[in-house]
Chain A
Amino acid sequence: MNSLFPLVVIGVVLFIVLNLAAVLIWVERRLLALWQDRYGPNRVGPFGLLQPLADSIKLFTKEDWIPPFADKPVFVIAPAVIVATSLISFAVIPFSPGFVVADLNLGLLFLLAMSSLGVYSVVLAGWSSNNKYSLLGGLRAAAQMLSYEVFMGLSVMGVVAMTGSFRLTDIVEAQHRVWFVVPQFLGFILFLIAGVAETRRLPFDLAEAESELIAGFHSEYSGMKFGMFFVGEYIGVVLISSAITLLYFGGWLGPFLPGPVWFAVKTFFFIGLFILFRAALPRPRFDQLMSWGWKTMLPLALLNLLVTGALVLVFS
């Protein structure tokens, strides 16, 4: 019985995350509509809740078109990569004490590694599409990932220095007294910005940029392959929101309510924030994005790490 428990956890996590990715399509459209003084989808089912179902029926019944000039195997693999890597990252996310697929002692590194592997999907999709706009999208994704992955890793090192462990469970347990967002506020801001860039959401959706690159890396995709990119993107949003919750907002810790509920509440707050970013912020130019990443965010992340390390040394 005890050996079956991880399987149950895997099943539950997969069920929740995949359904959440579908529901997020509805959540995002409704929230964007709310902030633009519209209603959004409200016809299919109560409050339009069945909209994702209608959308997926549409996607599944569409023609699955592979352009003759595309590099076929890579073209097919690319959408699967982003979904697979994002789902694998959820293996190390602890939803409450004991409710985790694999409580690795290098959980945080695994999370960062897997979420950055997702960029392969975008680069491969852009490359295999054999289309100049897709290629530009892929190039931008690669460059953006290089500039933002660096300080994303560095910004969480402050948390690691204060905890002394890469294990996500330990990081959460270390926040019993005070959430890390208070001592690590700069790190939180840096991680939030890097997280938005990591999921390639607006305002950092330069790989997609429908107004300049006609949807960039997924211009040539249709049907459920196109849908997979979106599933992957929404899983990525959930993942980064959960990571922020775990690292800076005390994960499942909170009074009165049970742990998973607190975790869900905090995660949904950040998902809403992601959607608010999309509703409010304009997309920066590409060189602005790069110079911001290298010239502002990276020094700030280093400074944050330096000061945190010094203070940890002094007080320990």
Chain B
Amino acid sequence: MFSLLRSLWEVFLHSFHRRVTVQYPEEMPYLAPRYRGRIILTRDPDGGERCVACNLCAVACPVDCIALQATEDESGRRYPEFFRINFSRCIFCGYCEEACPTYAIQLTPDFEMGEYNRQNLVYEKKDLMVDGPGKYPDYNFWRVAGVAIKDKDKGAAEHETPPVDLYSLMP
């Protein structure tokens, strides 16, 4: 009986507590920088596409919402011919970001992407691509990778030693 009266009183005291509701459209909630929201494709500091169309994100995706087609430009850089994310399937797990070897695909703190038409949730490459480098401003995959492209031969990358000459007898 006493505990009933006490709980009545304690609930009544909640009249003077602060309300925890965030009045969403007027007052935006705080989203951490690493919040897993809308997916973007980033560019390296030189403005080139980071994505090398390795398909790891599409493989890692548990709901198969990523589709892309790899191709190669005249300088030897691989890039996706199309890159398509179906956000009506995406569960924002972030596995694609973890799988990406070049920091190309990143998740951003933005969740306001509601649509009336389901087809509008299929984002093409032009919708996903942003102009900046995202969370990793200094990383450029092509500058550190040991892959030969135009204007950069094997062994010319940063921290890379020239390749061993297999036909030489010298140590």
A contact set with B: CB distance below 8 Å: 34-39, 276-277, 279-281
Contact = CB atoms under 8 A, between A and B. Distances in A.
Contacts, number: 34
Interface residues of B, number: 14
Interface string B1-29: 00010011011101101111101000000
Contacts of B20: 37-38
A241 B14 CA distance: 23
B15 to A, nearest CB: 6
Q: Is the interface of A mostly helix, strand, loop or mixed?
A: helix
Contact of A281 (B8, B17, B23): B8
Contacts of A35: 11-12, 14-15
17 contacts: A34-B14, A34-B15, A35-B12, A35-B14, A35-B15, A37-B18, A38-B20, A39-B19, A39-B23, A276-B8, A276-B11, A276-B12, A279-B11, A280-B8, A280-B11, A281-B4, A281-B8
Contacts of A34: 14-15, 19
Interface in B86-103: none
A274 to B, nearest CB: 12
Contacts of A276: 8, 11-12
A92 B48 CA distance: 84
A277 B14 contact: no
A275 to B, nearest CB: 10
A34 B7 CA distance: 15
A39 B11 contact: no
Contacts of A36: 14
Contacts of B14: 34-37
A140 B7 CA distance: 26
B1 to A, nearest CB: 10
Top 3 A-B residue pairs of the complex, sorted by shortest distance between their CB atoms: A280-B11, A35-B14, A280-B8
A34 B12 CA distance: 9
Contacts of B8: 276-277, 280-281
A39 B85 CA distance: 37
Interface string B90-119: 000000000000000000000000000000
Nearest to B9: A280
Nearest to A277: B8
B13 to A, nearest CB: 9
A38 B21 contact: yes
Contacts of B4: 280-281
Given A37-B20, A38-B21, 14 more contacts: A34-B14, A34-B15, A34-B19, A35-B15, A36-B14, A37-B17, A37-B18, A37-B21, A39-B19, A276-B11, A277-B8, A280-B7, A280-B10, A280-B11
Nearest to A281: B4
Nearest to B15: A34
A39 B11 CA distance: 15
A224 to B, nearest CB: 30
A279 B17 CA distance: 15
A281 B10 CA distance: 11
A278 to B, nearest CB: 10
A276 B9 CA distance: 9
A34 B14 CA distance: 7
A36 B8 CA distance: 13
A167 to B, nearest CB: 34
A39 to B, nearest CB: 5
Contacts of B12: 35, 276, 280
Nearest to A32: B11
B135 to A, nearest CB: 35
Contact of A38 (B7, B10, B15, B19): B19
A193 B15 CA distance: 23
Contacts of B7: 280-281
Nearest to A39: B21
A35 B14 CA distance: 5
